Chain A
Amino acid sequence: MPETSEISSLPSVLGDVVKRFVFSVQDYSLLSLQSVTNLFSPPQYWADTVDQMDLIGVGSLPIIIAAALSIGGVMVLNTASEFQRFGETALTGEAVSLALVRELGPAITALLVAGRNASGIASELGSMVVTEQVDAMRALGTDPIRKLMTPRVVAVVLTVPVLVAIFDLVGLCGGFVVAWFTLRLGAVQFWTTAIRALDFGDLVQGLAKPIVFAFIISTIGCYQGLRVTGGTQGVGRATTTAVVISSVMVLVSDLFLAKLLLYLFK
């Protein structure tokens, strides 16, 4: 009977979905672990790591600067009207500084890097898989995880905190320029409150998060790329999935990291 077969097949379909999900998580975890443990045994591909740092770090600078300037300025515009109502425009620098360093800097930089580099990594590695270049590497006796994944993970983990620091600084500059034009706020007043607002915990929070975000972005990009199936269509799918999953994972992990870091430093 059709009803019976549909009912009986539902658990098996669900079972397959759960099994596939658990298998993917396991596969991703093992691959990520291997990319880290590779750092403790030779050979190391430092030249490839520096190349990737240039590609990811320097290559992402223009979009980071443009986004930071806009966000810093927009924050001042949005907060200024509220502060003006209470005659506390001097607090603008403090508000912008705290929001950028604690939250917006790491999160928005990570999302931009995810959009630009998780997709780039997934499509590059995916193309290598479908054109058998990864198999060719294995056939030549080279471990593709060591040669392709580890340098990318290290490069992203090292460059994203630097990009976040640049984002914070440029964002504050953008905020200051807008504050100067719209609120007539002086440089000393803006920068003094902006810097004084930050304590050690904020800086740790602002630099610890990017390391975790960078690891998530790079490992998901590499995992999606190295596990591509289904030819060029599969590469497109992997690229989209890499961006979506890494962006969502950045935001989800941000929630838990914020709670943990606030608990540790407050």
Chain B
Amino acid sequence: MVRPSRTSIMLDAKTMVPGEPFIEFKDVRLGFDEGDVLRGVSFDVSPGETKVILGESGSGKTLLMKLAAGLLRPDCGRVWVMGHHLAEMSEEELLDFRRHLGFVFQEGALFDSMTVAENVAFRLREEHAAEEEIEQRVREALRFVELEQALDKFPAELSGGMRRRVSIARALVDKPPLVFYDSPTAGLDPVTSQTIITLVLRGRDLQGVTSLLATHRVQDAFGLAHYRFDEASKRVVPIASANGKPATPPTNARGERATTNVVVLRAGEVYFEGSTDDVLHSSDEYLKKFLASAE
């Protein structure tokens, strides 16, 4: 039995006001000694949506993810996540808040002194779950990422792709409603990248995860927008489009529309916001550069 959290923060889609965005960034600015990195970023994410943050290296994608998880505080502006204004929360409240989120770090950020099983079980152990329950849920999470055989391995024994998959298992083990993926395909070969995107699709379609995914690969956004995970056939299948019109997004396990939209960050500002089809049909030179890199 999972121990109830210490503070009274309740984080669930059900506690939110209907129609309210899951995540809202409003005029968020963040800078360091070298100057502003984020310069008035505004966008929002609806329940069930997968928002792909597309941008070059150094455009502020990782900072954006960390701000959304309350790991950093903005210099000014508002970060609103699942009904909570993060800047107004104490560190203790934020720790409790983060127990209801999943975060997949760029390099996996697995605890290198722990085995794969201990990494995935970390949050459950912190919540003093029963050992039998921990074992069952760890196996389930690792089966989800097809790494059940790696239970007793240490992160150093895993490939880059396997580390990301374990990181995804660790993020999803508690079935959070919201997951942040920070460049989960960065530095991976195309086949492994596809495996990672398939896992994101499975999380979205089978667990109803709302997500924010940072990447510099436009193909990740297209993969998420044009495919869905079919539970019956256990395969990724294209979303059918009718009469040349954009395909209707699938419905996730929570009954929400699993839409995929793109925010393009450029020099710390939102350069473009729209669907993948909008990106595809845009005549903008900068967006075309992204499309060209995918070809």
Contacts and interface: CB of A to CB of B under 8 A. Distances in A.
Interface of A: 42-43, 131-133, 135-143
Interface stretch (B101-109, B215-223, B265-273): B101-109
Given A140-B126, A141-B123, A135 B109 contact: yes
A43 B6 CA distance: 10
A139 B112 contact: no
A132 B123 CA distance: 16
A138 B111 CA distance: 12
Interface size class of B (residues with CB under 8 A): 20 to 34
A53 B91 CA distance: 28
A141 B103 contact: no
Contact of A136 (B96, B101, B105): B105
B99 A141 contact: yes
Nearest to A132: B109
B107 A139 contact: no
A132 B105 contact: yes
B71 A140 contact: no
Nearest to A143: B95
Given A131-B107, A135-B71, A143-B95, 6 more contacts: A131-B112, A132-B106, A135-B66, A136-B105, A142-B95, A143-B91
Nearest to A142: B126
Contacts of B109: 131-133, 135-136
Given A131-B107, A133-B109, A141 B66 contact: no
Contacts of A42: 6
Interface of B: 6, 66, 69, 71, 91-92, 95-99, 101, 103, 105-107, 109-112, 122-123, 126, 170
B103 A139 contact: yes
A143 to B, nearest CB: 6
Nearest to B66: A135
Q: From DSSP, what is the main secondary structure of chain A's interface residues?
A: loop
A235 B91 CA distance: 25
Contacts of A138: 71, 95, 98
A234 to B, nearest CB: 15
Contacts of B112: 131, 133
A143 B7 CA distance: 14
A140 B103 CA distance: 8
B288 to A, nearest CB: 33
Contact of A132 (B6, B95, B107): B107
A132 B111 CA distance: 9
B103 A136 contact: yes
A140 B106 contact: no
Contacts of B111: 133, 136-137
B71 A139 contact: yes
A140 B112 CA distance: 16
A140 B105 contact: no
B101 A139 contact: yes
Contact of A141 (B98, B105, B106, B107): B98
